[in-house]
Amino acid sequence: MPVPVRRPSARHALVAGSVGNFVEWYEFGVYGSFATVIAARFFTPDGGDRAQALIATYAAFALAFFFRPLGALLFGRLADRAGRRPALVLAVCLMSGATALIGVLPAYSAIGALAPWLLTLLRSVQGLSAGGEFGGAVSLLTETAPAGRRGRHGAWQSFTVALGLLTGAGLAAALATLLSESALYAWGWRIPFLLALPLGAVALWLRLRLPESAPPAGPATPDGPATPDIAGPPAPPRAPGGTGTVGAVVLGVGRIMGWSAAGYTFLVVLPSYLQATLGTTFQQALAATFVANLGFAAAILPAGALSDRMGRRAVMLTGSALVVLTAVPLLHLLRDPGTSVAVKAALLAAAGAMIGLLAGPGPALLAEMFPTRVRSTGLGLAYALSNAVFSGCAGLIVTALVRHTGNPDIPAYYAAGACALAIPALLTLRPDDHLRPLR
């Protein structure tokens, strides 16, 4: 007979589940902000092609994302069998350790061709741990949410994405302002990566204090955690609409692909795109990214709360449609020299807010697609696959296509196209899915 489990409070679960996600996305914000610096330090031999080096930098970025599905599978099974806490503890240890090691990694000038390979290895470890982070954290947040607040609690996962990206971009902008360019390229870029160690220590302490020692095993109560089931073996997991777990994973990828593609295009890839395509300075590019992430952060929690009232379908369809209709005009206005700085700032904030409409309800949407005993694995795998294909490859695809075609509208086409393809999948959502109990 399973041992009864003492559940963490909703507030403790929210903090412990979100803090590791902050560390993860802080690192991704730092990597995206310093992409041009990393390209110069690790992928550019003397006299090398800087554009090709930037593509190689994003290739390492993309490769890490393809380790996410493996991490989602491994950590998800651990979370579904042994409990959310062990998986979340292991994930944050691997993530913060690998990030700190990047901060002390010798550059190409010191160890030659070994440098990019070691960087890629550490990025792969990060991808593995990041793949396990999402499923366990979102499961914990939604299973402990008070009645009628799954969207709001799940949105905290996305909100810490914004906080992590903002912190990473803000710290990069501060260093770029305070340090000379030579100092920034020589050693200044290492500081944000090394700071992941104390941040990870705080996350580890919070997660070790979680009381959970085993996973929930029985049927869920409305909008709350499941209770232990000792009556017999569980039935095979089924997703809404009669599809199995594999079908639910594929459908989940389709529903969030717009979130993945548009989010990375406007929030992570933007700094290097602005520098390489529009000729902005490093400081200007980071400032633009910071403003876009402010709009993103401001919209997430209201969007999650709104989805508890109106439904996940209505909010996410609105966000997707807005990206499809406005991505190209927005990029044109950003490139127009006649557009004032204030208007450009407002446009960047609006772009971030549109992504917030997708990211706010997204975690709860995925959690509601899977039963408790496979929730961490199922939603983590759907999120990891979507990010591997549509997020991790965003920088590589956009940079390569802009370089070869000379068309500066490529980022807008990429974001709008993914959101357009996501709309049919979102239409399969039932309007009352947010009112149904977790299974």
Decide if 111 contacts 45 (C-beta within 8 A): no
Classify residue 228: in a domain, yes or no. no
- CA distance linking residue 9 with residue 266, whole number of Å: 35
- CA distance linking residue 158 with residue 153, whole number of Å: 10
Quote the Cα angle for 30-35-40, to 5°: 130
Classify residue 128: in a domain, yes or no. yes
Classify residue 4: in a domain, yes or no. no
Classify residue 58: in a domain, yes or no. yes
Classify residue 2: in a domain, yes or no. no
Burial of 237 per CB tally in 10 Å (0-12, 13-18, 19+): middle
Using alpha carbons, select from 362, 251, 253, 274 the residue that is nearest to residue 312. 362
Here the CATH number for the domain that contains residue 295 is 1.20.1250.20
Classify residue 316: in a domain, yes or no. yes
Q: Which domain holds residue 248?
A: 10-213+238-435
* Residue 372: DSSP 8-state: G
Classify residue 224: in a domain, yes or no. no
Going from the C-alpha of 347 to that of each of 75, 208, 282, 284, the distances in angstroms are: 39, 42, 19, 15
Question: Which residue carries 């999402």 as its tokens?
Answer: 134
- CA distance linking residue 149 with residue 86, whole number of Å: 25
Decide if 429 contacts 296 (C-beta within 8 A): no
- CA distance linking residue 336 with residue 387, whole number of Å: 31
Is pTM beyond 0.85 here?
no
Per the structure, the count of domains in the chain is: 1
Tens digit of each residue's pLDDT, the chain (439 residues): 444 445 556 677 788 778 888 887 788 778 777 877 887 788 776 655 666 666 677 677 667 777 888 988 888 888 888 888 888 889 889 988 998 999 999 988 888 878 888 888 888 888 888 888 888 888 888 888 888 899 999 999 889 888 887 888 788 888 888 888 889 888 998 999 999 899 889 888 888 887 754 454 444 343 444 433 323 333 344 444 445 788 899 999 999 999 999 988 888 777 666 776 667 777 777 788 788 889 999 999 999 999 999 999 999 999 999 999 999 998 888 888 888 888 888 988 999 999 999 999 999 999 999 998 899 899 999 998 998 888 877 777 777 787 788 888 888 899 999 999 999 999 999 888 888 878 7
Classify residue 305: in a domain, yes or no. yes
Quote the Cα angle for 90-95-99, to 5°: 150
